[in-house]
Amino acid sequence: MTTVRLGYVAMSVNLQNSSPSQTMTFKQFSQLEDREAAVRKLERIAQSNVKNCLRLLRHNVAHDILFFRLSSRLVPLATHQELDGWDYMKSLTKELNELGEFINKHQLRVDFHPDHFVLLNSPRPEVFKDSLVNLRMHFALLKGMKQNTVHRCVMHVGGNYKNTDEALERFVSNWANVPKAIQQMIMLENDDKSFDLIHTLYLCEKLGIPLVFDYHHHLAHNQDTHWENEWGRVLKTWEHSPLPVKMHISSPRNEKQFRAHADFVDGRMFMDFLRKVKGSVPHIDCMIEAKQKDSALFRLMEDLKEHEDIEIIDGASFKLK
């Protein structure tokens, strides 16, 4: 049997006034005449974001949800060049400690998905440098929560730059300039336009990076390729990880907007995947990428109850019989 645990992304549609991504633009920051007061306002926003993360995790635990993607926007302007030298971590010590204690107490799996502008294969040195700054922020936040930082940030390969082979090799070349601690934090995900499962496997196998298989992306990018033939290779990339295999699940909004995420997950589509991997691995963590967040998770669990080969464990996990 295979145990499957569901999670969702960053924000609840059921818990009110709990956004972990409240922000301040640099324009708003620069319009405040007193810079120290402006920085203090940024710090208050960041503290509120982390406190809301804790509220979200309490909500999750009450519903048996032990897998969650944290917002990468916890600290507004943390990596902005004009705020270089701002020690945002100092103001978050108490809040991050409390968050980390809760995560550890309930043995939650949390991770991040840095924004699309974090590009390790960029041909522009300044973009690569800024990407490392952003990844160091994620590393610092995980450390502030007292979390093991290994395999906690999932990323896309990056830009195609009109030459897939060159873009892949540039990732390999640039990887040598990524600090080891940051390397160990990263997982790679196949995308829906540029780097498919085979491309991403090439990098993951060459560089020792776990591959987060995105089923929806694969269907959007490689409908004629049988992903099942490569599933064993995907699992092998996780052999040295302290964490269970992770994947992403979402459904197309419609046929014309196939790449866009729907509000909910199509249970039949998910079962098509699950029945092909059943028994191949003891445990899979599935991150739901749907517009309706935790409501999508709740509905999917209700849909799965209708299948005879599903044994429900709790509100967010089940076994494939």
Bridge partner residues of 2 (DSSP):
320
pLDDT band with cut points at 50, 70 and 90 for residue 223? low
Q: Where are the domains of the chain?
A: 2-320
Q: In the chain, pLDDT over 70 holds for what percent of residues?
A: 99
Instruction: Name the band, by pLDDT with cuts 50, 70 and 90, for residue 284.
Output: very high
Q: What is the CATH number of domain 2-320?
A: 3.20.20.150
Strand partners, 312: 318
According to the model, what pLDDT value does residue 103 have? 98
Q: Is 196 helix (H, G, I), strand (E, B) or coil?
A: coil
Helix (H, G, I), strand (E, B) or coil at 111: strand
pLDDT at position 219 is: 87
Phi, psi of 45 (to 5 degrees): -65, -45
User: Which is nearest to 287 in space by CA: 182, 154, 104, 195?
Assistant: 154
Total-model pTM: 0.95
